[in-house]
Structure 1
Amino acid sequence: MSIFSTILAKITGTSTAEAAQASATVRPTTVTAATATPASAEATPAAPAAHPGQGVDVAAVLDALEAKSKERLDWRHSIVDLMKLLNIDSSKSARNELARELHFDGDTDNSAQMNVWLHKQVMAKLAANGGKLPPELLT
């Protein structure tokens, strides 16, 4: 199962198989490694199709999980914290695997750039899969 499918399933409450099928039907977003800086990254999500988790308020789900967490995790800005919050392996190798999955075309040894790109890409793909996100998480 892909890491993104696991992320989608944990947020939407769908099975990982449903999430994998849903995420496979979505076009890739337009964020590139070259434009993935906090000030200039832009994510253009594909038009959402009908998906099992359509309409899920992603921020509300993640905020509720954060409220229950003993750790203070900044899931709104950090891919590592997002993965930790969802109880998903956030190691460098897991993030490299997620980067391959999402077609990162930059240098995976540049963790800072890759992590910013991954977070923006995951937010865009969540929106493309029907998740509702506040606008500041899609810029």
Structure 2
Amino acid sequence: MSIFGKIKTAIFGDKGPLGGSVFGGSKPAAPTPTQPQATPQTHQPQAAPTAAPAAQPVDVEAVLTGIASRKGNPDLNWRTSIVDLMKLLDLDSSLANRKELATELGYSGAKDGSAEMNIWLHKAVMRELEKSGGKVPAGLKD
């Protein structure tokens, strides 16, 4: 699983906010065969199928705040630090993993663990979480 995939799963759980598997790996259930039924003599119009209600987006900030309060580690600055965000989610925050994450997300600068790279990574992760159906405040993306 990709580094970003691990971050997304840690925040959204096994299913994404838009329903279904986060990674699209699950198959829909096979339809069950139905017994043929006699058709009534009078034709009644069938009701149009109703769409399932849209899943609510996951409030990323609320989830992360909840995790932080449960862990009781006020020293983690997950709101601005990619290293602290990864630590909060119990993910390896090593330079090697951050380089891999940078490659996944399309970072084109030097992958040297610089402040520039880390700030870009944090903002890119937040933007990608939003694209995946999460609700992310502007202050965490920009």
1:57 to 54, 59, 66: 59
Greater Cα radius of gyration, structure 1 or 2: 2
Equivalent residues in 2 for 1:1-139 (5 A)?
1-14=1-14, 18-21=21-24, 55-72=57-74, 73-139=76-142
- 1:57 and 1:133 in contact (8 A); partners too: yes
3-state DSSP of counterpart to 2:108: coil
Match of 1:27 in 2: none
Task: Return the TM-score normalized by structure 2.
Answer: 0.70
Question: CA offsets per residue over residues 18-76 of structure 1, 9 Å max, x none?
Answer: 33349xxxxxxxxxxxxxxxxxxxxxxxxxxxxxx860000000000000124221111
3-state DSSP of counterpart to 2:22: helix
3-state DSSP of counterpart to 1:64: helix
**Structure with greater helix share of residues:** 1
- Structure 2 gap ranges (5+): 26-54
- 1:6 and 1:19 in contact (8 A); partners too: no
By relative contact order (CA 8 Å, sep 6+), the higher-ranking structure is: 1
- 2:95 and 2:113 in contact (8 A); partners too: no
Runs of 4 or more consecutive aligned structure 1 residues displaced over 4 Å after TM superposition: none
Aligned-partner Cα distance in 2 for 1:107–1:56: 32
3-state DSSP of counterpart to 2:107: coil
Structure 1 vs Structure 2 CA RMSD: 2.3
How far the C-alpha of 1:88 sits from its partner, in A, is 0.4
Task: Return the TM-score normalized by structure 1.
Answer: 0.71
3-state DSSP of counterpart to 2:73: coil
